[in-house]
Amino acid sequence: MTPFDTPYPQVGFSFLVVFEILPQFPNDIRFQEVTGLSVDVEMETKAEGGELRFVHQLPVRTKYGNVTLKRGKTLGSGILHWYRRAMEHFEFKPSNVLISLMDENNIPLFNWYLVNAIPKRLEVSGINAQNNEIVIESLELSYQYFKYYDPVSLALDLAAGAAGAISGSIG
């Protein structure tokens, strides 16, 4: 059975996060949660002369939300070294980040490629002697935009490109 055969939406518990930075350690791809993948279109309102029933909403630009990654606090992390250089020394080196939602065979189905991500916020959960809980670190990233990929979208893009090339060569 392929992912295209199931009528059910994809579950979100198996995913991978890969930063394009060095050095990296095995813990740098292990996260328990990714939130904030979003894009909004900013609109400009234009009134039309003589038309009082509505105003035109015209797209101006896209705006991408910050992404937050959460994981258990561990020793040895190239990502934390990257964060520390940014926060302590104000040395911001953008990195691209790939977030992939995996199927049951660990094959990437849905992919978000964040372009020029930089550290924005680092938060460590509370430390409490009365609780036996894992310390969680939250890493918030700001980025310019993301590219979204999935097998069907790629096939549709290829088909649209081929159709455009064919119609362009005919006309």
Tokens describing residue 51? 């038309």
Q: Residues near 159 by Cβ (< 8 Å), separated by ≥ 6? A: none
pLDDT over 80 (residue 6): no
Is residue 79 within a helix (H) or strand (E), and if so which, with residue range?
helix 78-89
Question: 119-169 pLDDT, tens per residue?
Answer: 999 999 988 888 888 999 999 999 999 999 887 777 777 877 765 555 555
Contact present, 149 and 157 (Cβ < 8 Å): no
Q: Which residue has the tokens 């070294």?
A: 81
pLDDT over 60 (residue 170): no
Length of the chain: 171
- Domains within the chain, CATH numbers bracketed: 15-170 (2.30.110)
Contact present, 83 and 142 (Cβ < 8 Å): no
pTM assigned to the model: 0.81
Question: 14-69 pLDDT, tens per residue?
Answer: 889 999 987 888 888 889 999 999 999 999 999 988 878 889 999 999 999 999 99
> What whole-number distance in Å separates Cα of residue 135 and Cα of residue 137?
7
Provide the 8-state DSSP code for 48: P
CA 10 to chain centre: 17
